[in-house]
Chains A and B, each alone.
Chain A
Amino acid sequence: MSMLATKEKLSVTGDLSTPETRIEDGGRRLGLMLTLPAQVLVLFIAVFPLLMQLYISLTDWSPLDGIGWWHAYELWNNFANYTDLAADSRFWDALGRTALVMLICVPAEFLLGLGLAILFMDNFAGKRVFYSIMLIPMMVVPAVTGYMFFMLFQSGGPVNDIISTLIGRPFALAWLSSPGTAMVAVMIADIWQWTPLMFLILLAGLVGVPEDQMRAATLLGASWTQRFHTIVLPKMKTIIIIALSIRVIENFKIFDTLYIMTGGGPGVATETISVYIYKVTQQDLIWGYVAAIALVILIALSILVSLAISRMNAAKEA
């Protein structure tokens, strides 16, 4: 691990290709041939489905209607799905909960991961073994993580057992069946699983900080916090942005662990946006409406991302 070296490059804006000065026609033809399968798969999953989604979202179509989706125009509803959505408090609540989970989990994972990464910066006995063990949670299948924490938070489970031992009297909270604590349990599971990802990425960045600069600063009498602010942080800026973006994007999709632990309940107490869409899809079967929700989310995300990318590019050039 001591040989970690970091190459700073922003994936989204990085150099996309390095075409050689002269590629003869044969090479160009082979290049097209080789990229064809990936192009076909992207078209197959992106372009056609999005057009279909747009079409269905303008209708009341449901798989229960017994008519093919291409006949959905018979159920044209004058953008009613979109006006309904604006007034759908369950949707906005789910969106709010998703934001809440993100606002708590991502910073918690970042701070815990950063703290651990700082502890792992230089060598000490047992480092390699500890490092490997630390990474385990992010490799456990998320659905299994959900089940693990479902067991842990049962009222007769180990979490309550540990709390009972600590406070010295019986403690039997039914975590997953009371609205407030169910959300707490879900967030703990997410933080358990994804702190290792932050730790892994941030450590790779920290090890890339030039050691001679750090040593020089130490000799000149810079305190640890000073060195962190003036040397480590500027070097780490890109890496921190990448690590945070990955978790923000993935956390927005939160479903597996949460759905297995609580099913979105009790009531709708832990219903995030993915759970809400899943329920409307599977239980209510109003697919025209689901298509509208999905499109709104896709468009909102695209705008946010292109804003983020252009801001990052501007920052890079400055």
Chain B
Amino acid sequence: MNRSLPFEIFRYGAILLALAVTLIPTLWMASMAFKPIAEWSAAGADLTWWPKSPTLDNFRFIFGTSTSDLIVALDRTAGKPILASLLSAVFGTLIAMTAGTAGAYGLSRFGSGQNLPLALIQLRLFPPMAVMIPVMIMWAFFGLVDTWWGLALIYGIVTLPFAFWLMKTFFDDMPREIEDAALVEGCSRLRVFMKITLPMMRPALASSALFVFILNWSDYLIALLLTTREWVTIPVYMASLSSSMTGQLYGAKAALGLIAAVPPVIMGIAIQKHLVRGLTFGALKQ
């Protein structure tokens, strides 16, 4: 519509400002991850925006290799927390996607489980903090506290609403003629679902799974309540990365933060065109 020159100047100015605000915090952390300890913090004029002598020491440090600058020894390295985050997020995604896809298909094609859409919205609505007491008691009862599989189970339940709603909108959009043709040729309903529908939905399944994975990978509160030592995830471990001897281990935390932040950002950009659908429970599509 408006294409006048002043408008274009205003537009680029505003967008560049927004880009700067968007990127500076991220770049500050990325730059911090490669700074040697001497450049971590400095007041006033000495502030280093870009590492003067870039180093990989921070990454070596969190993986347990001793470095000349950081004499503190870690009582555990970042390896296991990264594994914990990966396992719980991957298996949580599997649980949510399996139950969500099957349920969405059942509702979309056969009208079963009419209560599910609203029940799942409600599940998403409530703050996790407000249902955690019974969950902590139940998880302790089943021996699921401080295990990656216990985390995976609660992640699967917490993200089930997204998996269900996303897959429901994808199934609703799918033309039924192909399924009907296979039915006419004598395939059973289950066979049609497994052999025809699911393979056709592969791109939708992949996008939904990535979306659910990002949500699981991003959790902090649930892991904080349900893990104590053995299987703490990256964010919980990160918070423990400070010692009374060194104070805040800025560089080490930034290195770990970078490791945690990169996968979801890449995945999120990859599934950009489905983000609106995912975030609005399928109410809006791009």
Q: Looking at chain A, what size class is its interface with the partner chain?
A: 35 or more
| Closest chain A residue to B101, Cβ basis | A34
Q: Is the interface of A mostly helix, strand, loop or mixed?
A: helix
Asked whether B125 lies within 8 Å of A305 as measured between CB atoms, the reply is yes
B246 surroundings in chain A (CB, below 8 A): none
Q: How many A-B residue pairs have CB under 8 A?
A: 322
**Is the CB–CB distance between B1 and A35 below 8 Å?**
no
Segment 175-194 of B: residues with Cβ below 8 Å from A: 188-190, 193
Q: Does A76 contact B (CB under 8 A)?
A: no
Question: Nearest A residue to B254 by beta-carbon distance?
Answer: A151
B interface footprint on A135-179 (CB within 8 Å = 1, 0 otherwise): 111111111110111011011111001001000001010000000
The answer to whether B165 touches A148 (Cβ under 8 A) is: no
- The residue on B at minimum CB distance from A207 is B286
Interface bits A273-285 vs B (CB < 8 Å: 1, else 0): 1100110011000
Q: Give Cα A243–Cα B279 distance, bound, in whole angstroms.
A: 9
Q: CA A134 – CA B268 in complex, angstroms?
A: 12
Q: Which residues of the partner chain A approach B43 to less than 8 Å between Cβ atoms?
A: 155-156, 172
Residues of A within 8 A of B99 (CB): 37-38, 41
- Residues in B lying within 8 Å of A, measured CB to CB: 1-3, 8, 11-12, 14-15, 18-19, 21-26, 28-29, 32, 41-44, 47, 49, 95, 98-100, 102-103, 105-114, 116-138, 156-157, 160, 164-165, 172, 188-190, 193, 214, 217-218, 220-221, 224-225, 234-235, 238-239, 250, 253-254, 257, 260-261, 264-265, 267-269, 272, 275-276, 279-286
Sample of 9 more A-B contacts, CB < 8 Å, known A38-B102, A172-B43, A294-B131: A16-B107, A18-B108, A39-B103, A52-B138, A141-B218, A155-B43, A204-B286, A273-B129, A298-B130
Ranked nearest first, the 9 interchain pairs of A and B with the lowest CB-CB distance are A31-B110, A31-B112, A38-B103, A35-B113, A49-B134, A34-B106, A19-B111, A143-B235, A139-B268
Between-chain CB contacts (< 8 Å), 26 pairs: A6-B284, A9-B283, A30-B190, A31-B110, A34-B193, A35-B113, A38-B160, A41-B99, A45-B157, A46-B119, A49-B135, A133-B23, A136-B23, A137-B25, A144-B29, A144-B235, A144-B261, A158-B28, A197-B279, A204-B276, A253-B129, A255-B129, A273-B127, A281-B136, A294-B132, A295-B130
